Structure 1
Amino acid sequence: MSTIAALVAIATAAIIYGTDVFAALILRPAAAGAADASVADLIGRVHEYGDRRLPIPGAISVIATAIVVVTTDQTTARIAGSIALVALLVWLAIYGRISAPINKQLRAAAAGHTVPPETRALQERWDSVIWPRAALQTIALAGLLAAVLTR
């Protein structure tokens, strides 16, 4: 049970990991050089789709990781899974407190075809947490891989 849960957690966490790493490496610098109207429109639309589609793999990764921690009978795997779970929960806290409210504002701007005067500040605030989010997803994946490999 815990091996299957770990594999599910790895597959679903990898979706969020890939998204965050792409955002850190590509989207962040591209948005930094774009006009505010472009950021409000395109990034708002990116968040529209991401906020609708990514909660499912995100939630599954957290639940499956918790199952790994609870069901494994191997101490090292439990520790690795616990590290992964903490990383995912910290990621979720950062996302919920910082990223999600910004996403909502940019989604509304895109839907209303408006450019908020604070667009640049919103994007800079969002950018400020994308590398920590990517790092937390890296830690989570490493912990999950360790949980599988130490079984």
Structure 2
Amino acid sequence: MTGAAWATGLVTLLGIGVVFGTDAFCALVMRPALARVDEASLTSVMGNVHRYGDVRMPAPGVAGLVGSAVVAVLAALADRGSAAVLAGIALVLLVVWLVLYARISAPINRRLTAAADRGETPADARALQAGWDRIIVLRAALQGAALLGIAAALVLL
């Protein structure tokens, strides 16, 4: 049972790691860089970033979220309570991340992508990006904490 939990945990770590790395990069690099460009460039760049990100990022996100649940269950079945709790905490953190993404980030992503498709710059482009930026550090922190939780769970398996 712990072998299956370990294998699942490694895939889970990779999935969470991809999303964490992406969000951390956006918080550390993209956010300040975009503050220095004009609204048309911001719309074009971020609209196209979201076009690909919103299609390609669900795979590692699902691997992290579902994997956390599977690790929690397998750890519990293997009578590894502490590991199960840590994986469960990681799962909760990822669900919170998903709610933030779905309610705040995704609608902004869709607006910027649609504007980029039309070759337009929304009058509120800077405000849209500010709304997205407002939660990117929190998103990165949630993913980072989930990553640590799964890593700690694997140590305890």
Scaled by the length of structure 2, the TM-score of the pair is 0.95
C-alpha distance in structure 1 between counterparts of 2:88 and 2:6, whole Å: 14
Give the aligned partner of residue 46 of structure 1: 49
Once the two structures are superposed, what CA deviation does each residue of 1:59-89 show, in whole Å capped at 9, x if it has no partner?
Answer: 1111111100111120110111011101100
C-alpha distance in structure 1 between counterparts of 2:105 and 2:97, whole Å: 10
Shift of 1:16: 0.2
C-alpha distance in structure 1 between counterparts of 2:32 and 2:88, whole Å: 33
C-alpha distance in structure 1 between counterparts of 2:149 and 2:86, whole Å: 5
Does 1:122 find its partner at 2:125?
Answer: no
The correspondence for 1:78, drawn from 76, 81, 84, is: 84
Structure 1 unaligned blocks of 5 or more? none
Shift of 1:23: 0.2
> What amino acid sits opposite 2:60 in the alignment?
P
C-alpha distance in structure 1 between counterparts of 2:63 and 2:14, whole Å: 10
C-alpha distance in structure 2 between counterparts of 1:65 and 1:12, whole Å: 10
Does 1:106 find its partner at 2:109?
Answer: no
Give the aligned partner of residue 101 of structure 2: 95
Does 1:142 find its partner at 2:133?
Answer: no
C-alpha distance in structure 2 between counterparts of 1:80 and 1:146, whole Å: 7
RMSD: 0.6
C-alpha distance in structure 1 between counterparts of 2:58 and 2:95, whole Å: 13
Shift of 1:2: 1.0
Moved over 3 A (4+): none
Shift of 1:5: 1.0
> What amino acid sits opposite 1:144 in the alignment?
I
> What amino acid sits opposite 2:115 in the alignment?
A
Shift of 1:117: 0.3
Shift of 1:22: 0.3
C-alpha distance in structure 2 between counterparts of 1:33 and 1:123, whole Å: 12
Structure 2 unaligned blocks of 5 or more? none
Once the two structures are superposed, what CA deviation does each residue of 1:20-75 show, in whole Å capped at 9, x if it has no partner?
Answer: 00000000111111100000001110011100100111011111111001111201
Q: How many residues align?
A: 151
Give the aligned partner of residue 64 of structure 2: 61
Give the aligned partner of residue 28 of structure 2: 25
